[in-house]
Amino acid sequence: MKFLRKISQKLSRLWRRRIFLDHASTTPIAPEVDKTMRSHKIVQFANPSALYTEALEAKKLLNGSRERIARILNCRKNDIVFTSGGTEGNNLALLGVFEAQLGHRMSKLGNFAPHFVTTIIEHPSVLEVFKEIERRGGKVTYIPVDEKGMVNPNSIRAALKKNTVLVSVMYANNEIGTIQPIKEISKIIQEYRRKIKRQNSTWPYFHTDSCQVPLYLSVDCLKLGVDMMTLDGIKIYGPRGSGILYVKSGVETMPIVFGGGQEKGLRSGTENIPAFAGFAKALEMADEMRERESERLKIIRDYAITEILKNFPKASLNGSADERLPNNVNICFPGLNAEFAVISLDVLGVCASYSSSCRTLKEDSSSYVVESLGKTECKESSLRFTLGRDSKKGDIDYLIVALKKIIKQNLVEPIPFQSIRIPPQFLETEEGEN
């Protein structure tokens, strides 16, 4: 396998055209964001916790970035906690609430352990945290999804208990792009709060991992009715190592990183001023471009799904066809060795994935998300193609050509490298292509 990867990397450099179809994993930094960061790296280098003039300017920039983000999230600026990205944000949200409730609140309920509700298709940075919470004595209920990857809000209602402190449901899935009914789930949680009439507390809290959605869906926390929300700069053409956790005023939580007490005491460490300024710029651009970019990508997404299913009759779409992110195409090819397919596509100039990128470092890198749809035969035979701002219809035409080269009788065979031939029309991007 290592030898094949090395060969694919060398051969991929020979082709003049590279098509990136893995935007759910990461996005390039937008030029406007890079420009913002560069300007602040030169001017605002000081520690915002200090008292001299440069430090005060840095603090002003940090607070300005917080205010810009808060306007888009429709929340108070003090509700924004800067983080290093989605993984840290999810860890802080879940472990922070667990530690806070375990420490003093839950002791008033006798021997009940803090209880959490989530789904079986959450990102590893959520599911792995819940495993740790269980190891520490917490209780977790994992809600299944239907064949389209949708969560039934009534299942959330049935799982709520008097000792439930938090519900975490991903806004849209990173693998299959399914969009969950967040507003409906929020109403159920709010009704439950009123029903039990708990005094001086607002839990169960509602957390949502929204890292995949700012480019395509509103992240208005007030309208969504969430208490905590995680966002990641790497998913929105922002800087690496940047993200935020929205924490609604009144949510009882604890830090998981200790030190100087920055970010309201929830995230110690000197703030990365240029990165957070870049994140604010990226989120503003996402908000401004959201509607037109979503409409543009829906056309390309639907074209891709149609063309793939037409050319590969045994293939099937994973996830909902309707409640789906505009940029997500996840297809099951029965009998496919997805890992070999990704490597083979790389040789032909196409960047794609076969499960969550955060799972590929695991020994078992099959897709538990696809398996949860009841498609056990597809958990190691599915490919994910996710579009971005540079994606065009011509990219899909090229993808179909590449797929035909590597899929034979619904089985993937290692490509004889000497036989690779790319049609001339696909070697360079044509002007006017859309």
Write out pLDDT tens, residues 121-141: 999 999 999 999 999 999 999
What pLDDT sits at residue 407? 85
Told to judge if 378 belongs to the known catalytic residues of this protein, a careful annotator would answer: no
Catalytic residue, chosen from 75, 211, 332, 358, is 358
Structure tokens at 6: 């090395």
- 434: in domain: no
Measured distance CA(429)–CA(209) in Å, rounded: 36
In a domain, residue 431? The reply is no
Residues 6+ away with beta carbon under 8 Å from 136:
98, 102
Is 133 found in the same domain as 261? yes
Residue 300 sits in the same domain as residue 369: yes
Per-residue pLDDT tens digits for 393-409: 999 999 999 999 998 64
Q: What is the pLDDT of residue 409?
A: 40
SS3 call for 225 = coil
CA distance 76 to 187: 21
Tell me which DSSP letter residue 408 carries: E
* 271, 216: one domain: yes
Residues 6+ apart with CB under 8 A from 163: 106, 109, 112, 113, 114, 115, 139
Task: Mark whether 235 and 251 lie in a shared domain.
Answer: yes
Give the range of the structural domain holding residue 131, as residue numbers without chain letter. Answer: 31-285
Q: Do 300 and 221 share a structural domain? A: no
246 and 320: one domain?
no
135 and 222 both lie in a single domain: yes
User: Considering the domain boundaries, does residue 316 fall inside one?
Assistant: yes
* Residue 418 pLDDT: 43
Residue that finishes a domain, picked among 263, 285, 307: 285
Question: What is the rounded CA–CA span in Å between residue 268 and residue 279?
Answer: 19
Residue 53 lies in a domain: yes
Q: CATH number of the domain at 400, please.
A: 3.90.1150.10
Structure tokens at 86: 């989605």
In the numeric block, the tokens 């066809």 are attached to: 321
CATH number for 279: 3.40.640.10
- pLDDT one-digit tens code per residue, 322-351: 999 999 999 999 999 999 999 999 999 999
Q: Considering the domain boundaries, does residue 432 fall inside one?
A: no
Tokens of 197: 């009439």
**Per the structure, how many domains does the chain have?**
2
In a domain, 433, yes or no: no
Across the range 370-389, mean pLDDT stands at 97
Q: Using an 8 Å Cβ cutoff, are 214 and 175 in contact?
A: no
Whether 141 and 18 share a structural domain: no
Q: CA 392 to CA 433: how far, in whole Å?
A: 7
Same domain for 188 and 116: yes
Q: pTM value?
A: 0.88
264 and 301 inside one domain: no
**Pair 130, 227 in one domain:** yes
Instruction: Report d(CA 429, CA 427) in Å as an integer.
Output: 7
Distance between terminal CA atoms of the chain? 36
